[in-house]
Amino acid sequence: MAPRPRRRRHKKSSSSVAPAAVTPPTAVTQPTTVSPVPLTRSKPGPSIDALGFYYLDNNVPGLSQLILQKLNMKSYEEYKLVIDGDKPVSGFGFRCLREMFQKMEDTFRFCAHCRALPSGLSDSKVLRHCKRCRNVYYCGPECQRSDWPAHRRVCQELCLVAVDRLMEWLLVTGDFVPPSGPWPWLAEAVQGWDTWFSMRRPQLDATLEAVLGSHAMTSLWASAGRPRPDPDVLQDSLKRLLTDVLSRPLTLGFGLRALGVDVKKAGGSTVHVVGASHVETFLTRPGDYDELGYMFPGHRGLRVIMVGVDVATGFSQSTPTSPVKAGRVQLSGHRGLYHHFWEEQVETGRTARPDLVVAFHPGFHASPDLMEAWLPTLLLLRDYEIPALITVYSQQELAASLQILVELDAHIIAYGANPFTSLKPEQVYSNPNKQPVYCSAYYITFLGSSCQLDKRQLEEKLDGED
pLDDT of 411 reads 95
Q: What residues have CB less than 8 Å from 194, skipping those under 6 apart?
A: none
pLDDT at 183: 95
Q: How confident is the model at residue 270 (pLDDT cuts 50, 70, 90)?
A: very high
What is the pLDDT at residue 8? 45
What percentage of the chain exceeds 70 in pLDDT? 74
Q: What pLDDT score was predicted for residue 80? A: 67
Given a cut of 90, whether residue 320 has pLDDT beyond it is no
Predicted confidence (pLDDT) at residue 146 exceeds the cutoff of 80: yes
The pLDDT value recorded for residue 6 is 37
> Which residues have CB under 8 Å from 324's CB, separation 6+?
33, 268, 301, 302, 303, 330
- pLDDT higher for 62 or 14? 62
* Residue 117, pLDDT score: 85
pLDDT at 375: 94
Which pLDDT does position 32 carry in this prediction? 41
Give the pLDDT confidence score for residue 279 in this predicted structure.
Answer: 76
Average pLDDT (237-251) is 96
- CATH code that applies to domain 16-50+164-466: 3.40.50
The mean-pLDDT minimum among 31-35, 240-244, 264-268, 384-388 falls in: 31-35
pLDDT of residue 26 exceeding 50, the answer is no
66-121 per-position pLDDT tens digit = 777 767 777 777 766 665 555 555 545 555 555 666 666 777 788 999 988 887 78
pLDDT at position 310 is 80
pLDDT in tens, 354-387: 999 999 999 899 878 788 889 999 999 999 999 9
Q: Which of the residue ranges 14-28, 30-44, 141-155 has the most confident prediction, judged by mean pLDDT?
A: 141-155
Parts of the chain belonging to CATH 3.40.50: 16-50+164-466
**Residue 459: predicted pLDDT:** 59
Q: What is the mean pLDDT of residues 144-172?
A: 92
What pLDDT shows up at residue 27? Answer: 35
pLDDT tens-digit profile of 184-240? 999 999 999 999 999 999 999 999 999 999 999 999 998 887 889 999 999 999 999
Q: What is the pLDDT of residues 410-444, one digit of tens each?
A: 999 999 999 999 999 998 877 888 899 999 999 99
